[in-house]
Structure 1
Amino acid sequence: MTSSGNSSETILRQADAPFHVIAKAIGPICNLDCKYCFYLEKEQLYPNNEKWKMSDEKLEVFIRDYIAAQPGQEVSFAFQGGEPTLLGVDYFRKVVEFQKKHANGKQISTAFQTNGTLLDDEWGEFLAENKFLVGLSIDGPEDLHNTYRVDKKGRDTYKEVIRGLNVLRKHGVEFNTLTCVNAETVKHPVKIYKFLKSIGSKYLQFIPIVEREVDTAAAKLGLDHAAPPNLAEAPATKESPKMSDFAVPAEAYGDFLINIFNEWINFDVGKVYVQLFDVALGKWLGTSGGLCYFAETCGDALAMEHDGDVYTCDHYVYPNYKLGNMMNTSLGELADSQMAKDFGNAKRDKLPQYCRDCSVRFACNGECPKHRFTWTPDGEWGLNYLCPSYKKFFTHIDPAMKIMAELYRAKRAPADVMQILAEQRKGNRS
């Protein structure tokens, strides 16, 4: 059910299945100007907007509705941007207040992604007290981090990020790191991995930067990057994609992952957790893996802008992927809408035959639809740009993953794989 006008009249609706919302309560506004960021340009989608901060009224509606819409007893909130710390500590005190008010017996957790440059002791005390999980964006050592992660005046940001990191460590805030793999960082996998360990990160995420030069559709909206591909309609010509200068090369990302995996599998299993490796183990155990990129279908990770507009995904914040507005339609109804289902099912239904026949399809599933803008060897549209990398990576890790899966099923620690592999190497040398 929906209502128009007063949001308090919107009928709350529980969704048929759990779903996630990335809340962008500050919209695309950020104090940095990272050269590869895909979200800063979204400011152009709201050309007459002057107030980017989600109002208290809308914030409470979101929190109330999101909790009510979840069919389970655990509810995870995630705030991104832009830069969420621009909202200020007091804003997140309201977040906690509204969560407690509307929890209705459910267990609430909150995370946000930050560039770390604005963190201070007040933030540290608040985050620790309220047990927020913080994702810290850092691209490696100073020389690599500063390549693309600069402020609005083009100045380096590494020292400010490390200062923010020290705030998190001082106050015992749980954090993970998010590292973007771009044209420069892809050349230094082990250097970056060892650096992240050295700063105390035990939970690592690596995100490939895959952006193309602006196309006609995006240019009409005033955007700088190409819009996601239309999987239902192949381009008229088979031209090679024009990648942005900072984009990770199609095959190099696989080598980056393999080099880090080799370091991790021999020395750090059970001590350092790499998101993609955890997801992969889940795949070898026959589960979904828990990450939309590699799921058979998607569409259950929505994005919400500062004004309550809800989109199918934060990589698809474009007018034709807008599901509606939470002030007019409940989040549960938006999550269960036919548009959301069709979007998610297209990930599976539009998968090229080349992928369907692939030996690592169970692990990859074509990855993110946003990256499916190339052609298969037999001329079918919709192959993932990173296909060479994922095929190489998943094939490489297969022997080790099979061992780890067997250990898990035998109720042994997957970390025992390190000893098994060491014994295998010793046997090969003798």
Structure 2
Amino acid sequence: MYSVVVKPIGPICNLKCEYCFYLEKEELYPDQNHFRMTDETLELFVQQYIASQPGPTVHFAWQGGEPTLLGIDFFKKVIKLQEKYLPSGWQAENAIQTNGTLLDSAWCEFFKEHRFLVGISIDGPAQFHDQYRRDKRGESTHHSVTAGVKLLQKHQVDYNVLCAVNAANVREPKAVYQFFKDLGVQFIQFIPIIEWLDDGQTSSRSVTGSEYGRFLTAIFDEWLLNDLGRISIQLFEECFAIWSGFGGRLCVFSEVCGQALAMEHNGDVYACDHFVDGDYYLGNIHNQELGSLAQSSFIKTFGDNKREKTAKKCQTCPVLFACRGGCPKNRIDGLNYLCEGYRQFFGYIDPFMKLMVELIQMRTPIAVVQKQMQQKYDQVWANPGRNDSCPCRSGKKFKKCCLERFS
């Protein structure tokens, strides 16, 4: 089963986030100054997408740019078209990713009525968020985004927070996590920012692999000791599924990819949201059925290459079963840019995940699981010497790694 990230307003946005990789996609359509999806294209997409899905639940994902710029009426059309084409007994589930600045009570009432899952982007406290997420006038957006979160909470809309981990916030994981807890957020995604420059280097806004690993490790410890069973962090849930033997559900940690397509406002379909360019163009739904594009030989080769083109050294890596080489967009000669962080983080959580899986499979009460996790944590971190290898699995001596955390 494949999915599609739909861009009904293309790359158009009311913000100018410095690390956004999609704003430049305007260059794909140099002769266009209007990126709004037409009613004809919208209906064709809904019809073809439903027809190519196994059901009985069909998942729709709406992104941008900023999709709320389209207005509520556009999404009312979406609902009507879904009702028109869904077979009897089937249902649609809609997810929308927004920067949150345009949300008001009308939007929230609509999302609540039609059971939208809302993803809202916020990078932690204002001093981190506003470093890179400003509007086109260069003004702060933090206040309006947090106001959007509170509106979603007030109207009891299902939502999650997407936090971009970047050079501004990567060294303050506890402050970022505590901010979300204080805001009342219960579902969080952490996405690393890696911007490639023309010379093959990464931008100053990017994180390094080791920074990302340390960031995740610090938050994992806080979550494990204080919030297990209360706060959902997407990556940690993904790890639980992997250690349980179900494999990665997110494409980044799947053995192959190619089942998460991207569609632009005019019906152009691409192999992936991160590969929206001419080399990965599959076709247009006005000329070819969406289902056939999703099953093309090109997309199969694209997906299989995730497995086939991993670096040779990955084949003997003890955490390959977890990272699966990561996202191809972040690879250099088959080796993922985040490799150091993946090896450290997945190696560190291994004993915790093994115990957690064992306890959950035995249907152990959550209070007992929490107690067992605390005991395992105390065991892992039991009095390391200054010159001992750091328990976080970084490969560094304790005094040069995590000693400050325990000082």
Query: 1:54 touches 1:306 (CA, 8 Å); kept in 2?
Result: yes
Distance 1:166 1:267 in 2: 23
- TM-score when normalising by structure 2: 0.91
Q: Does 1:325 align with 2:284?
A: yes
Once the two structures are TM-superposed, the CA of residue 413 in structure 1 deviates from its matched residue by 4.8
Residue of structure 2 equivalent to 1:305: 264
Residue of structure 2 equivalent to 1:104: 87
Q: Does 1:195 align with 2:189?
A: no
Residue of structure 1 equivalent to 2:302: 343
Tell me the amino acid that sits aligned with residue 356 of structure 1: Q
Once the two structures are TM-superposed, the CA of residue 417 in structure 1 deviates from its matched residue by 3.0
Deviations 1:81-114 (A, max 9, x none): 0000000001000011101111113221001000
After alignment, is 26-35 or 155-164 more displaced?
Answer: 155-164
Residue of structure 1 equivalent to 2:351: 399
List aligned pairs for 1:278-289, cutoff 5 A.
278-289=237-248
Q: Does 1:159 align with 2:118?
A: no
Q: 1:408 to 1:150 in 2, by over 3 A?
A: same
Residue of structure 1 equivalent to 2:311: 352
List aligned pairs for 1:242-253, cutoff 5 A.
242-253=201-212
Q: Does 1:34 align with 2:3?
A: no
Distance 1:405 1:411 in 2: 10
Distance 2:280 2:374 in 1: 50
Distance 2:164 2:378 in 1: 36
Residue of structure 2 equivalent to 1:50: 33
Residue of structure 2 equivalent to 1:334: 293
Distance 2:325 2:101 in 1: 35
Once the two structures are TM-superposed, the CA of residue 289 in structure 1 deviates from its matched residue by 2.6
Query: 2:108 touches 2:155 (CA, 8 Å); kept in 1?
Result: yes
Structure 1: 5+ residue stretches without partners: 1-17, 216-240, 374-380
After alignment, is 65-74 or 54-63 more displaced?
Answer: 65-74
Query: 1:281 touches 1:289 (CA, 8 Å); kept in 2?
Result: no
List aligned pairs for 1:189-228, cutoff 5 A.
189-214=173-198
Q: Secondary structure at the match of 1:418?
A: helix
Tell me the amino acid that sits aligned with residue 7 of structure 2: K
Q: Secondary structure at the match of 1:177?
A: strand
Tell me the amino acid that sits aligned with residue 30 of structure 2: P
Q: Does 1:411 align with 2:395?
A: no
Distance 2:40 2:331 in 1: 39
Q: Does 1:274 align with 2:233?
A: yes
- Aligned alpha-carbon RMSD (Å): 1.4
Q: Secondary structure at the match of 2:174?
A: helix
Distance 1:177 1:314 in 2: 19
Tell me the amino acid that sits aligned with residue 275 of structure 2: Y
Residue of structure 2 equivalent to 1:81: 64
Q: Does 1:420 align with 2:379?
A: no
Q: Secondary structure at the match of 1:186?
A: coil
Query: 2:123 touches 2:163 (CA, 8 Å); kept in 1?
Result: yes
Residue of structure 2 equivalent to 1:232: none
Structure 2: 5+ residue stretches without partners: 384-407
Once the two structures are TM-superposed, the CA of residue 421 in structure 1 deviates from its matched residue by 2.7
Residue of structure 2 equivalent to 1:181: 165
Tell me the amino acid that sits aligned with residue 324 of structure 2: N
Once the two structures are TM-superposed, the CA of residue 411 in structure 1 deviates from its matched residue by 2.6
Residue of structure 1 equivalent to 2:110: 126
Distance 1:257 1:423 in 2: 20
Residue of structure 1 equivalent to 2:329: 370
Q: 1:156 to 1:328 in 2, by over 3 A?
A: same
Query: 2:2 touches 2:259 (CA, 8 Å); kept in 1?
Result: yes
Once the two structures are TM-superposed, the CA of residue 367 in structure 1 deviates from its matched residue by 0.4
Q: 1:50 to 1:161 in 2, by over 3 A?
A: same
Tell me the amino acid that sits aligned with residue 402 of structure 1: K
Tell me the amino acid that sits aligned with residue 137 of structure 1: S
Q: 1:184 to 1:415 in 2, by over 3 A?
A: farther
Tell me the amino acid that sits aligned with residue 348 of structure 1: R
Q: Does 1:294 align with 2:277?
A: no
Query: 1:269 touches 1:415 (CA, 8 Å); kept in 2?
Result: no
Tell me the amino acid that sits aligned with residue 410 of structure 1: M
Q: Percent identity?
A: 50
Q: Secondary structure at the match of 2:265?
A: coil
Tell me the amino acid that sits aligned with residue 192 of structure 2: P
